[in-house]
Structure 1
């Protein structure tokens, strides 16, 4: 359309409906989800990755477990949805004829990570065994496809090769995740408990590792990396502890942040993810409902700007596939992410949901069909687009929304490909201009401009996001809106947005256009347990007070000078040994209380002391307990809330644990107890390194019936010291819970 005629059409449209007169459009019917969201098509959908395709669907990918009970192992799975409520299963990423030729015949394919750049979809994944060294030399593979559903073509070799450990084996080169950083470079994170998580730069096409890798986490704590950029920080998130211990799985996700994609990453308390006394701020952990072991996640942002975490978890009442038995049943879940004091928290710290929740908002308001946006814009021409994206809107001059956007807050999101020099998007007083070399945002007389990094190509498809909310306008350009980006800048706005049309001016092709009111952020964390009045306890003032009892007494445990001193026993409760001493105190006769102790235990730093530990325990019997301890696990020092129970048909026990907070030679511990509606006994763990500021973590549920005993322990399977370290407890107190 000639520009002069286009201007006339737009002016006429604006005259028909005054910018300040129209009411906000009627919102669409709400959509809810209920975990697990993968249940319509699968029993298990582990290690999920997600992306919005150019066709408007959201695609999800999973590791190569059997999809359903009794099913065969797949070669990674694919599914898609429009609303996160109904799903279509699309089959496997590979088959035997298309899987990487360099993989060993019996190799598994794990933990896909999906991205879009350079006009194609790029998938990274773990190959557990290569043909070069059959027997277990994991590597990172990569494949590309023209559409998010494939067909996928694997490269001729790994993007990250196996890394020998110097002892005849290989480090854990697993769990890839890509980041496009503000310097325009692409970085691939990978690794796990054996060797730690590392990051390497990859080539512009994403297919080759280049340069020297940098290790960003200690080798014994994290796997399943995922990185997002927010407010100038790079947030590295990783999963910790055992992913797959059936009903005792305590997998959880923790975060650290850095100004550089190479770290160092530190948590909210300033503790590094590389320290022996390892840091990590909780993103998600189990809360005592049906879901345990939430982890190995991805992020997505919906059409309102609300972030969500997609992850797998285990139903504690149905933890395994029965056929083949022993495979953990890990379906896909989704929940809201809230940014509390600069840190990502699942449902403001409430953890996994087991009730209906608002689904991620998809599609546009203002009468715009996001996958065919020309119909909702005056002045835009409809293009047939391409087989991947479908119809698009061509802007050559100016286009405006046919309907008026509401005032207050607004979010504009679109896939954009410049066909000329620039595209300007205007939301009320906020203007954003994208050029090949720069990104500019203005509001009144306020203006900021940032240069686009080397490697950015505006004539290719990129995601342009503009959000105006809470007195600030922010713009970001990214590959596909997965939390990373080439450039981001913002400006303060003097006034709230007034109702008005959104306009686009310049020469560009637009797809997946959504315009919606921005989500209202949650800024306050949910309440955590707090202590009330003192109910009972012992200060160890003069021998053992009343209320104490032993299982397998240890004569070396002595009380003197207001302390219980207990040399660590070379014993353990886990498994079949069951020869460790336990010291119990009578619990309050109420259904809600908090137990607290102060522990001093010097476990050193950096050396291997498997598994020296001491702390508190909730105990039914030797094969059914939950224990909170300061523990040495290989070279790390961690606070672990572990669980053992008889879980298998053959009577064998299962043990797993959740990590909580940061350890220190002197630390405080709490177990918050309550009886749930089913009569089960729920214990939630909290730790502190100063006795004032508490980190609350995972919860374990013990069966209904008699209340478990609560007490102290000090032992370790292989203490490795002579004399053994001494655990010193200053008190055990029971408080009313607020």
Structure 2
């Protein structure tokens, strides 16, 4: 970094020579987008991945389902947009001649993950069946391309090979996600419900797994991983429950974080994702509008510094691409991510948007055109660039924007090939320098810096951003702005007020995709959740069950004594045709909104297999139409499951069942169902759980066609403990909802 006096003198001379006009272009009208964003070119675009190419377009990729009903299966799909309001379909990643030769005939290609490093685009993907073994033996493939549109060249073998389960089958080696970490190493996360998710180090070129993998989640809970770095933490995000149950899909995304890319990842309550009573802080779940099953996501940051989640979901009104129980219709959606108390929350906890919302901010202000960045800079030289990126801007000595940037929060970002030293100055106050393999931020007497990895290659295109948001300055170097990191510096400067001034550069660099934008206003408070008001009705089990109680298939083993309802789990079920379980209902209050609550004690142990012992609350219309909130054993995990069953094929009464996960399981668990009518007059039941009766985790909503009976249940198959555990309920109460 230049000495302070020299830098100050350079600023003064440059300001006198170039002027510091505050003239600015008129504000651009905001661009809006409406989910699903893939509707102009596809009915389904599942497991999306996204990246900004050096040509300024955002490229999206999807798994190999047909794009439309009765269409052919593709070999993964590609599309692009400049503004997220209009899209161009680009075809498939592979064809029959270019697909991996080591894939078995008929293998599917799922869950692409797109990256850029080392001067090329790198795509990881699932191959569902290899030619090396008979039957399904999933593996992770990798392909490279000079442009984000291809042509894609697959390597000669898997980057992660199939993993035998010891019983003649194979674990779920699926759903890859790559991360470049601050230690300069590249990591690949992969795996799913069968076997859990692991992370392995990759070779420097990203094409080979090296070393010993580390398991970062327990099995039976997470798939579709994605990891981002922020403020010293690595955030693991994974999808839970079933992706593809048509109208009962409850897929959701949860997060844990760690100081290491290898974990252990723990949630906001400090619970590891490897625990039998598995942890996870909600990133996105369904909210009662048309979108259910939001998940298998990617992550991006726009030109205003706003993070976004790109994901698929299912419209509960049109859940199938083909006939019921066929291919699910999973279009691509996008919503903003708000970081609240250190955790990523979709729209501050509101979940998927169902109406027009602001699109991601793209392009630049200050008259800068990404197709010719030098034209918006004084002192920069236009370079021809290459066929991918087009013209670039060379900075040698000093350059500045021709227009002054506005005062207040500001973000400057560019793809950059760096010389020996380059300094970016915002507001004539904030100085960010890359020199001597260090990233440094200086504001007045305050300074902070971070070492860059020894392997960092400044001659390649990397993403450089400098942002002032309120009193916090963040400078970052990474591959492509997808949550990876080579170096990040955050500096808090109390009282910092960035003035209006041109953005300035000193040193040497070549830049492309240059953007200067006011920073999106951060949201720092979670959206409101239901709160209990006055007690309306209920029972604390201080006497025999009264007239407000009724049974379906009464279980005489359920007894009331000592202020508790004790109910040994029935060896019974309520899903599909197994309608043998007893259900106990209490009359619900009148009105269009209320909250039902119970306290349950159910000890199902930890770590052993007990399928599917459970107890909890139910909103019930009939044996084929209900929503069930339970504390449940699922293989070796203990989870809270909010399940939904309904008739998915009226012609023969065939039912569909799926579920969402909510909060953490515990031997003693409080549960709530909050009821309200939505604007369409539908009946919405939102679930919440608590491990202390004070702090509640609100999760997914299910919509029922009419008002339901509310009650309790206790049942499950008996793989595991014998005699059966006893579910003990302390009360069932109904409160006003406020």
Structure 1 residue 678 displacement after superposition: 2.4
1:545 is matched with which residue? Answer: 546
1:35 is matched with which residue? Answer: 35
| Aligned counterparts, 1:12-31, within 5 A | 14-15=15-16, 18-19=19-20, 22-31=22-31
Task: Tell me if the contact between 2:138 and 2:174 (Cα under 8 Å) persists in the aligned partners.
Answer: yes
Task: Tell me if the contact between 1:645 and 1:653 (Cα under 8 Å) persists in the aligned partners.
Answer: yes
Structure 1 residue 371 displacement after superposition: 2.9
CA root-mean-square deviation:
1.6
Structure 1 residue 234 displacement after superposition: 0.3
Structure 1 residue 323 displacement after superposition: 6.0
Structure 1 residue 165 displacement after superposition: 0.5
1:426 is matched with which residue? Answer: 425
1:189 is matched with which residue? Answer: 189
1:283 is matched with which residue? Answer: 283
Residue 448 and residue 722 in structure 1: after superposition, are their counterparts in 2 closer, same or farther (change >3 A)?
closer
- Whole-Å Cα distance in 2 between the matches of residues 63 and 287 of structure 1? 25
- Whole-Å Cα distance in 1 between the matches of residues 124 and 658 of structure 2? 29
Structure 1 residue 651 displacement after superposition: 2.1
Task: Tell me if the contact between 2:369 and 2:375 (Cα under 8 Å) persists in the aligned partners.
Answer: yes
1:611 and 2:612 are equivalent in the alignment: yes
1:129 is matched with which residue? Answer: 129
1:691 and 2:693 are equivalent in the alignment: yes
- Whole-Å Cα distance in 1 between the matches of residues 14 and 255 of structure 2? 49
Residue 700 and residue 149 in structure 1: after superposition, are their counterparts in 2 closer, same or farther (change >3 A)?
same
Task: Tell me if the contact between 2:305 and 2:411 (Cα under 8 Å) persists in the aligned partners.
Answer: yes
2:631 is matched with which residue? Answer: 630
SS at match of 2:523: coil
2:591 is matched with which residue? Answer: 590
| Aligned counterparts, 1:143-222, within 5 A | 143-222=143-222
SS at match of 2:375: helix
- Whole-Å Cα distance in 2 between the matches of residues 682 and 325 of structure 1? 25
Task: Tell me if the contact between 1:436 and 1:457 (Cα under 8 Å) persists in the aligned partners.
Answer: no
- Whole-Å Cα distance in 1 between the matches of residues 30 and 589 of structure 2? 46
Structure 1 residue 440 displacement after superposition: 1.4
2:662 is matched with which residue? Answer: 660
- Whole-Å Cα distance in 2 between the matches of residues 158 and 378 of structure 1? 49
1:86 is matched with which residue? Answer: 86
Return 5+ residue gaps in structure 2 as ranges: 1-8
Structure 1 residue 15 displacement after superposition: 4.3
Task: Tell me if the contact between 1:69 and 1:324 (Cα under 8 Å) persists in the aligned partners.
Answer: no
Task: Tell me if the contact between 2:324 and 2:648 (Cα under 8 Å) persists in the aligned partners.
Answer: no
Residue 9 and residue 521 in structure 1: after superposition, are their counterparts in 2 closer, same or farther (change >3 A)?
closer
Structure 1 residue 445 displacement after superposition: 1.6
1:196-250 deviations in Å (ceiling 9; x for gaps) = 0000000010000000000000011000000001110000000000000000000
- Whole-Å Cα distance in 2 between the matches of residues 199 and 518 of structure 1? 34
Task: Tell me if the contact between 1:13 and 1:378 (Cα under 8 Å) persists in the aligned partners.
Answer: no
1:80-124 deviations in Å (ceiling 9; x for gaps) = 000001000000000000000000001000000000000000000
1:593-648 deviations in Å (ceiling 9; x for gaps) = 00000000000000000000000000000000000000000000000000000102
Structure 1 residue 173 displacement after superposition: 0.3
Structure 1 residue 388 displacement after superposition: 0.9
- Whole-Å Cα distance in 2 between the matches of residues 123 and 318 of structure 1? 31
**TM-score calculated relative to the size of structure 2:** 0.97
Task: Tell me if the contact between 1:10 and 1:378 (Cα under 8 Å) persists in the aligned partners.
Answer: no
1:451 is matched with which residue? Answer: 451
Task: Tell me if the contact between 2:23 and 2:403 (Cα under 8 Å) persists in the aligned partners.
Answer: no
Task: Tell me if the contact between 2:216 and 2:264 (Cα under 8 Å) persists in the aligned partners.
Answer: yes
Name the count of aligned residue pairs.
Answer: 728
Task: Tell me if the contact between 1:25 and 1:405 (Cα under 8 Å) persists in the aligned partners.
Answer: no
1:509 is matched with which residue? Answer: 510
SS at match of 1:54: coil
1:275-330 deviations in Å (ceiling 9; x for gaps) = 00000000000000000000000110000100000000000010001369710000
Structure 1 residue 10 displacement after superposition: 10
Structure 1 residue 717 displacement after superposition: 2.7
Task: Tell me if the contact between 1:10 and 1:379 (Cα under 8 Å) persists in the aligned partners.
Answer: no
Residue 108 and residue 436 in structure 1: after superposition, are their counterparts in 2 closer, same or farther (change >3 A)?
farther
Structure 1 residue 422 displacement after superposition: 1.3
Return 5+ residue gaps in structure 1 as ranges: 1-7
- Whole-Å Cα distance in 2 between the matches of residues 533 and 492 of structure 1? 44
1:4 is matched with which residue? Answer: none
SS at match of 1:322: coil
**TM-score calculated relative to the size of structure 1:** 0.97
Is 216-225 or 647-656 further displaced after alignment? 647-656
1:460-501 deviations in Å (ceiling 9; x for gaps) = 110001001211211000000111110001223353111101
| Aligned counterparts, 1:479-498, within 5 A | 479-493=479-493, 494-498=495-499
1:381 is matched with which residue? Answer: 381
Residue 589 and residue 492 in structure 1: after superposition, are their counterparts in 2 closer, same or farther (change >3 A)?
closer
Is 431-440 or 49-58 further displaced after alignment? 431-440
- Whole-Å Cα distance in 1 between the matches of residues 692 and 449 of structure 2? 44
Task: Tell me if the contact between 1:252 and 1:285 (Cα under 8 Å) persists in the aligned partners.
Answer: yes
| Aligned counterparts, 1:714-733, within 5 A | 714-718=714-718, 720-733=720-733
1:557 is matched with which residue? Answer: 558
Is 431-440 or 303-312 further displaced after alignment? 431-440
Aligned pair partner of 1:680 in 660, 679, 682: 682
Structure 1 residue 658 displacement after superposition: 0.2
Task: Tell me if the contact between 2:32 and 2:359 (Cα under 8 Å) persists in the aligned partners.
Answer: yes
- Whole-Å Cα distance in 1 between the matches of residues 15 and 262 of structure 2? 49
Residue 282 and residue 292 in structure 1: after superposition, are their counterparts in 2 closer, same or farther (change >3 A)?
same
Structure 1 residue 684 displacement after superposition: 0.2
